[in-house]
Structure 1
Amino acid sequence: MAQKLYRIIRACAEMGEKNPIISIHVQGAGENCNVVKEIIYPKGAEIDIRSIVVGDHTLSVLEIWGAEYQEQDVLLVKPDSRRLLESFCERERVSMAVFGEIDGSGKIVLTDSAAVEQAKLTGLPSPPPVVDLELEKVLGDMPQKTFEFNRVPRLGKPLDIAPEVMVMDVLKRFLKLPSVCSKRFLTTKVDRCVTGLVAQQQTVGPLQLPLADVAVIAQTYTDLTGGACAIGEQPIKGLLNPKAMGRLAVGEALTNLVWAKVSSLADVKASGNWMYAAKLDGEGADMYDAGVALADCMIELGIAIDGGKDSLSMAAQCDGEVVKAPGNLVISAYVACPDITLTVTPDLKLGDDGVLLHIDLVKGKL
């Protein structure tokens, strides 16, 4: 479904100045009540809840208005572009609903046409709107929220391995880590070439080893242009130095991305996904330090983050104890690729004639 929706948006974007889309908002997990009011702000609109496409017609107004479901976009288009957009949706077999019009009231008014019709049939007065809200009260100039973080000193201890621990036991546990072990359990159970536009998938070489550094996709079936994407994350470093974690996550993403032929470093954009137990002492301050270091690093490199996501409640109470996840930052870097065939893969190709080199780019420092 996401691919179908992507093709519709792309068809509109490729029309250039005739693009029918004035504004677009991806729903994600933000519910209709969130994305609709944001896309109509500040003008306002009247929305008919029953115009929204649902599979279960017994759903209440509240359930439809506040339901969390994804792969849906809310678009703002001119009335004369409606038929064009409908033709794109029909071609891709994607449902489309027109559920309101901008009216300049500055409010979001949610009505239930089914309830209004029922009232007419029974001779009762029409029910009031389900929602009648001034948008300025929820989306206007809201007071800035202040967060106070406390720093917790890091008391480092030297590595102490118990004498009864055997090297082979440690090695087995180490090789079981998802960040170290083979990713074959992930890559072999899915179709790795959906759409036929995948130029570099997760596996490489004649043995299909899951070692690819960068993902590359083609833009069309006939040209060599496309896009490249790579990921970087260094959560273990964050336990010792959050600033280093931020810088190294960017470094890993870029040194993975470099194995594809890209347009230029200046064209690189990235998504930043943060995962922290930010309300706990020390965690919020660590996240702030990582964010500052990340910003400084990207400014110096001339690249930027243009989106992302955060999960800042990565802690839970369990049997009277607080269980928290280590803070983490995932950088997903992407850029245009002028030639999808010029991709270097890490599988060894020279046999006994090859040489392996270790290059310490940071000279032993984080």
Structure 2
Amino acid sequence: MPIRSIPGAAALSRFRLDALNQRLAPLAARIVAVSETFVAFGVAPEISDAQLAEVLQWGAPVEAPASAGVVRYVAPRLGTRSPWSSKATDILHRCGLAVERVERVLCYQFAQWPEQPAQIEQIEALLHDPMTQSVLRDPAEFADLHRHPAAAPLVYVATDLPALTEANQRLGLALSEDELEYLAARYAQLGRAASDAELMMFAQANSEHCRHKVFNASWTIDGIDQSSSLFGHIKHTHASTPQGTLVAYKDNAAVLAGHVGQRFLADAQGRYRATTEPVHLAIKVETHNHPTAIAPHAGAATGAGGEIRDEGATGRGARPKAGLTGFTVSHLRFADAPQPWEQPRPLPQHLASARRIMVEGPIGAAAFNNEFGRPALGGYFRTFEHFPERLDQGYAYDKPIMIAGGLGSVRAADVEKCLLREGDIVIVLGGPAMLIGLGGGAASSQASGIGSAARDFASVQRDNPEMERRCQEVIDRCIALGEANPIVSIHDVGAGGLSNAIPELLHDSGVGGCIDLGAVLNDDPGMSPMQIWCNEAQERYVLGLRPQSLPRFIELAERERCLYAAVGTATAVEHLSVRLGDTKVIDLPMDVLFGKAPKMHRQAIGHQPQAGVALNLATIEPLDALLRVLRFPAVASKQFLITIGDRTVGGLSHRDQMVGPWQTPVADVAVTLADFEGYSGEAMSMGERTPLAVLDARAAA
């Protein structure tokens, strides 16, 4: 197939280029330019390079500097299609240019380059994300972008206990011995082997991440059986005082009763009108700790994105309004600015450093909020370590807390999900499947460092806020139809991918489903059925629609240029059947997945913290003490975490972090407005007392 290469503009600012060169300096390498190259496949002969350049180029093309020597090209992972390509190819088609596909490749031009193979390997690793990108050494390799490997096969696993134990380790399923025995017994009843897709699906759906097994466990503390689980204690507040709460602990977000306000919506004739109605609140907070510890930027970005999707997938659809972000890490340990509270100790090599997390993580979360179009109005930042006696016994946040939260609005008619019926259509809304984020639910449920580094990295999702914005626009258009809202039920696609979201959608309504895996949009043809079913590619939702609503929904999705696929139907019998062509990928009763798997029981011995050595201030000057306090991250200015994000997008922000004429970041609360006319609204704040929690958890709470 003929290939054309169109030179592009500089791909990195001088600031980012300098930062990259700082990371490359220890490897004896220096980049002098990073530019774009657009690679077009299947261009009609009558289309000139000038016509392509007119659409693709946004600045003056970069010419190779005189000092440039070695060149490396970073392209989408071979055999896959990037989200950028899908969008750019669509734009070219709408401009009347007949092009089969166009991809964006980054060209790194080096003035210095080492000779040692080990250093070259490290440099190439720094330049790309192996889950989504490949490094090429010659433009002749661009042709490989359009070659697709053969699809990997479905793998069957024997279901005796030793075979399941081996698969548990090999696939990183993080299943307990009790759960493996449960699977062995259920498959013995079915009288057949298990597919790797079934095992991976079970592992994700029953992971700690998804099922909160520790929080739902029974406990024996100091020899005394406890009357309630940890989750029971958490839910007790709502059980005792349910007033004002409309939905709790049964949807993707909770819903609180709100005020009457105005919503500006288009009517059936396409005219926008103000409608006065109750504006209820969808609220959600979740953590994304494991991914942020492995890949801080992507982990924090997808943490924010996942929380936004949870809000949007509440009831029959809701609209995110404002967010908050928080980080707790170990001490930062700047090499050129050591602090007296930072004790030297061994740090885990398989996790990102606290400094790297706080350099990259907040940027990732802010970037997603910015690009999606949601203001971030609150949060916190804490560093904490406590080793009172020995450096191998104490507390530290080497595995960080990355918390994402927010609130949105939901119409009264959409607070509760409806039930799917036999024949209802299952829709996947959003981006295509790609081999990213595989096994994230299980990976985040293991103790840190148990899984392989490669598997940990593969489990981290990659963000695509623009696609999530398109999905949200479709949801908003459905909500605006009022009683004609075509969404019967909706869930976001997170941990476990479709293998978790679709069964959950069906199970909530007490139905089964027949799913055609071949109908799932797929940008990685080399994936196996298990990988298509279980990957966590962003950003996707699953919806249930009545058959008669499908044409209207398709019209809305196409208007918003949002990808969608009708992948199956609901069945009256609670059985899940997933096929890819003639291959049965999943063939299970729903109660195997959602049945009574063994309940965890935990035993613990109470520990009474001992009073530490009294603080000795005799050798510290007052000025030095003051400067130490002001330098401590929990006290120091958080402005660098605030000004990286938009705080007014949407027009309903009333109180952000910056206060007074000098815009000092000292606000105690974030406040949003219910609408553009009235004076009612919502307030949210976040607090934490980590140092006190070490001594008295009850007092800290």
**What is the TM-score of this pair, normalised by structure 1?**
0.56
Look up the equivalent residue of 1:209 and give its one-letter code.
T
Counterpart residue number, 2:523 = 55
| 1:70 Cα deviation after fit | 4.2
Look up the equivalent residue of 1:83 and give its one-letter code.
P
Counterpart residue number, 1:338 = none
Tell me, in whole angstroms, the C-alpha distance in 1 between the residues paired with 2:558 and 2:685. 34
Counterpart residue number, 2:627 = 172
Higher mean Cα deviation, 94-103 or 214-223? 214-223
| 1:79 Cα deviation after fit | 1.4
Look up the equivalent residue of 1:202 and give its one-letter code.
Q
| Aligned mate of 2:493, from 17, 20, 27 | 27
Counterpart residue number, 1:37 = 503
- Structure 2 vs 1, CA of residues 71 and 199 (structure 1 numbering), >3 Å: closer, same or farther? farther
Counterpart residue number, 2:653 = 198
Tell me, in whole angstroms, the C-alpha distance in 2 between the residues paired with 1:16 and 1:38. 25
Look up the equivalent residue of 1:82 and give its one-letter code.
L
Tell me, in whole angstroms, the C-alpha distance in 2 between the residues paired with 1:89 and 1:141. 38
Structure 1 residues 303-331: Cα deviation after superposition (integer angstroms, max 9, x where no partner): xxxxxxxxxxxxxxxxxxxxxxxxxxxxx
Residue 234, structure 1, aligned to residue 689, structure 2: yes
Unaligned runs of 5+ in 1: 117-125, 247-366
| 1:189 Cα deviation after fit | 2.1
Structure 1 residues 237-266: Cα deviation after superposition (integer angstroms, max 9, x where no partner): 2111101122xxxxxxxxxxxxxxxxxxxx
| 1:94 Cα deviation after fit | 2.5
| 1:220 Cα deviation after fit | 4.6
1:22 is paired with a residue whose SS is: strand
What are the residue-to-residue correspondences of 1:228-307 with 2, within 5 Å?
Answer: 228-246=683-701
| Aligned mate of 1:93, from 541, 561, 580 | 561
- Structure 2 vs 1, CA of residues 85 and 166 (structure 1 numbering), >3 Å: closer, same or farther? farther
Look up the equivalent residue of 1:207 and give its one-letter code.
W
| Aligned mate of 1:146, from 601, 604, 613 | 601
2:640 is paired with a residue whose SS is: helix
Counterpart residue number, 1:74 = 542
| 1:182 Cα deviation after fit | 0.7
Tell me, in whole angstroms, the C-alpha distance in 2 between the residues paired with 1:225 and 1:56. 48
| 1:210 Cα deviation after fit | 1.4
Counterpart residue number, 1:12 = 478
Tell me, in whole angstroms, the C-alpha distance in 1 between the residues paired with 2:493 and 2:587. 21
- Structure 2 vs 1, CA of residues 218 and 141 (structure 1 numbering), >3 Å: closer, same or farther? same
Tell me, in whole angstroms, the C-alpha distance in 1 between the residues paired with 2:564 and 2:506. 18
Structure 1 residues 21-62: Cα deviation after superposition (integer angstroms, max 9, x where no partner): 222222233421111111112321111223223333433322
| 1:190 Cα deviation after fit | 2.3
Tell me, in whole angstroms, the C-alpha distance in 2 between the residues paired with 1:40 and 1:64. 19
Do the aligned residues in 1 keep the contact of 2:470 with 2:560 (CA within 8 Å)?
yes
Tell me, in whole angstroms, the C-alpha distance in 2 between the residues paired with 1:104 and 1:25. 20
Structure 1 residues 111-164: Cα deviation after superposition (integer angstroms, max 9, x where no partner): 11xxx3xxxxxxxxx3x3111121111202344322222211211124232754
Do the aligned residues in 1 keep the contact of 2:514 with 2:578 (CA within 8 Å)?
yes
Look up the equivalent residue of 1:93 and give its one-letter code.
R
Tell me, in whole angstroms, the C-alpha distance in 2 between the residues paired with 1:7 and 1:223. 25
Counterpart residue number, 1:251 = none
Look up the equivalent residue of 2:693 and give its one-letter code.
G
Structure 1 residues 321-362: Cα deviation after superposition (integer angstroms, max 9, x where no partner): xxxxxxxxxxxxxxxxxxxxxxxxxxxxxxxxxxxxxxxxxx
2:671 is paired with a residue whose SS is: strand
Tell me, in whole angstroms, the C-alpha distance in 2 between the residues paired with 1:89 and 1:215. 33
Do the aligned residues in 2 keep the contact of 1:38 with 1:139 (CA within 8 Å)?
no
Tell me, in whole angstroms, the C-alpha distance in 2 between the residues paired with 1:163 and 1:66. 60
| 1:91 Cα deviation after fit | 3.8
Look up the equivalent residue of 1:176 and give its one-letter code.
R
2:566 is paired with a residue whose SS is: coil
- Structure 2 vs 1, CA of residues 110 and 166 (structure 1 numbering), >3 Å: closer, same or farther? farther
| 1:110 Cα deviation after fit | 1.6
| Aligned mate of 1:208, from 663, 672, 675 | 663
Counterpart residue number, 1:107 = 575
Tell me, in whole angstroms, the C-alpha distance in 2 between the residues paired with 1:182 and 1:217. 23
Tell me, in whole angstroms, the C-alpha distance in 1 between the residues paired with 2:570 and 2:677. 41
- Structure 2 vs 1, CA of residues 29 and 137 (structure 1 numbering), >3 Å: closer, same or farther? closer
Do the aligned residues in 2 keep the contact of 1:107 with 1:133 (CA within 8 Å)?
yes
| Aligned mate of 1:132, from 570, 575, 587 | 587
Tell me, in whole angstroms, the C-alpha distance in 2 between the residues paired with 1:221 and 1:81. 32
1:110 is paired with a residue whose SS is: strand
1:194 is paired with a residue whose SS is: coil
Percent sequence identity is 31
Do the aligned residues in 2 keep the contact of 1:29 with 1:69 (CA within 8 Å)?
no
Counterpart residue number, 2:552 = 84
Unaligned runs of 5+ in 2: 1-464
Look up the equivalent residue of 2:529 and give its one-letter code.
V
- Structure 2 vs 1, CA of residues 223 and 150 (structure 1 numbering), >3 Å: closer, same or farther? same
Q: Which has the higher strand share?
A: 2
Counterpart residue number, 1:122 = none
**What is the TM-score of this pair, normalised by structure 2?**
0.31
Tell me, in whole angstroms, the C-alpha distance in 1 between the residues paired with 2:656 and 2:534. 37
| 1:201 Cα deviation after fit | 2.4
Do the aligned residues in 2 keep the contact of 1:29 with 1:70 (CA within 8 Å)?
no
Tell me, in whole angstroms, the C-alpha distance in 2 between the residues paired with 1:14 and 1:147. 48
Tell me, in whole angstroms, the C-alpha distance in 2 between the residues paired with 1:244 and 1:174. 23
Do the aligned residues in 1 keep the contact of 2:494 with 2:501 (CA within 8 Å)?
no
Tell me, in whole angstroms, the C-alpha distance in 2 between the residues paired with 1:215 and 1:3. 23
Tell me, in whole angstroms, the C-alpha distance in 1 between the residues paired with 2:526 and 2:674. 42
Look up the equivalent residue of 1:50 and give its one-letter code.
G
CA RMSD of aligned residues (A): 2.6
